[in-house]
Chains A and B, each alone.
Chain A
């Protein structure tokens, strides 16, 4: 990436930002060139993850949260992720549909991403995409995960503040104490709070939080109610995002979280790179032969892997 392009990106030029996002999505050399050029300009944005089951109102909520930040003059970047079809490799990216209030505002940049085979609720390039938006001067970066089930918890590692969105009537109090997605919430939002059963859902979530003995200085996630379609409750949610940020800063947790994230990213990149280098040195027929041997039960998978690594 040439210095002029980096300058354009840092100035928030939408075309430069869009191109850089495409490059990190392509991965490989293209991604590496962009990240190497911009990395030292990152680290300023507050990264906010929004996750939850499909249809709970994540996109609409992101739209409303972004509007709040815009009223305060904060520039907002949004990465919205939807799943790639395991069969065709195609995807329908429909999150923008709920974010039309933000169009025509040059202080907002929305990018839709497909998971392209990655599990965990994010796309492989999500953390790099966030870096691009960070370097481009978007002070708040909202990351909307795919409609998540119980175990798509990757977002927690990529965000400073993670919001888990629920809708009323999504399950009983045992659902609320299960491991996984409920554990990663810094804020719990019960959206569609104009529906029946909202108080039961709030009560179940509160009960779960109360089951955990509270250590001093622990962050206790607030359970908030919103109606994203009208904007009700969103101001309160934005307030709590700010409180969480202040809590992280006061307890030096921003740095700690960042280090955890960088460790995971480093491991991932090393893994990916080693794998790529290894496979470059192996011809395809060797792998096919091994698979045949495995299928014939002549070789087990561990031994086959050993012969590949050498």
Chain B
């Protein structure tokens, strides 16, 4: 079976309209050879999970700057679980206060990338994690 390109859903949950960061990351992942499904701003947890399901993505990347992550992220994780998408790699970025990072990680986010992260680091992280998951799925 040929390895397909890594598919990533990039979405912005909640109400803040600042999507430049999400676009920068989407573009960087494209340049790293990934297929990025970009759904943009104001995504509900239901919309994110539905898109992840239909697009059969390896990764869901969320960008949030509004501070609503403590409220929205658990609902997204729950929606993904309901659709049996526990396998999907979760990463996020935006404004996540330091104190919240362990909280977000406990929710199931493998990578939390704050302002100043190099986009290359994000791409490398995703590639390594997906390779591990795919390896595990075969074994």
Contact = CB atoms under 8 A, between A and B. Distances in A.
Interface in B20-39: 26-27, 29-39
Contacts of A100: 39, 47
Q: Which 10 A-B pairs have the closest CB atoms?
A: A90-B30, A18-B56, A89-B33, A22-B56, A90-B33, A103-B47, A93-B37, A91-B35, A88-B33, A94-B38
Contacts of A29: 1
Contacts of A17: 54
A307 to B, nearest CB: 28
A90 B54 contact: no
A15 B83 contact: yes
Contacts of B5: 89-91, 114, 116
A97 B40 contact: yes
B55 A18 contact: yes
Interface in A150-181: none
A145 B50 CA distance: 23
Task: Find the residue from B29, B37, B38, B46 having the highest chain A CB count within 10 A.
Answer: B37
Contacts of A15: 53, 83-84
Contacts of A28: 1-2
Contact of B30 (A22, A92, A111): A92
Nearest to A20: B56
B31 A90 contact: yes
Interface string A109-141: 111101010000000000000000000000000
Interface residues of B, number: 28
A110 B38 CA distance: 13
A90 B2 CA distance: 16
Contacts of A272: none
Contact of B27 (A18, A92, A114): A92
Contacts of B84: 15
B89 to A, nearest CB: 16
A212 B35 CA distance: 43
Interface residues of A, number: 34
A25 B55 CA distance: 12
Interface of B: 1-2, 4-5, 26-27, 29-40, 46-47, 50-51, 53-56, 83-84
B30 A96 contact: no
B29 A90 contact: yes
A21 B1 contact: no
A111 B4 CA distance: 16
B52 to A, nearest CB: 9
A14 B53 contact: yes
A111 B46 contact: no
A19 B56 CA distance: 7
B32 A111 contact: no
A263 B109 CA distance: 48
Contact of A92 (B36, B55, B83): B36
Contacts of A103: 46-47, 50-51
Contacts of B40: 97
Given A14-B54, A96-B55, 17 more contacts: A15-B84, A18-B53, A18-B56, A21-B56, A29-B1, A88-B32, A88-B33, A90-B29, A90-B33, A90-B36, A91-B35, A92-B30, A93-B35, A93-B55, A94-B38, A97-B38, A103-B51
Contacts of B50: 103-104
A112 B5 CA distance: 13
Contacts of B34: 90
Contacts of A85: 30-31
Contacts of A89: 5, 33
Task: Find the residue from B1, B29, B46, B56 having the highest chain A CB count within 10 A.
Answer: B56
Nearest to B28: A90
Nearest to A28: B2
Contacts of B51: 96, 103, 110
A30 interface: yes
Given A97-B40, A100-B47, A104-B46, A90 B35 contact: yes
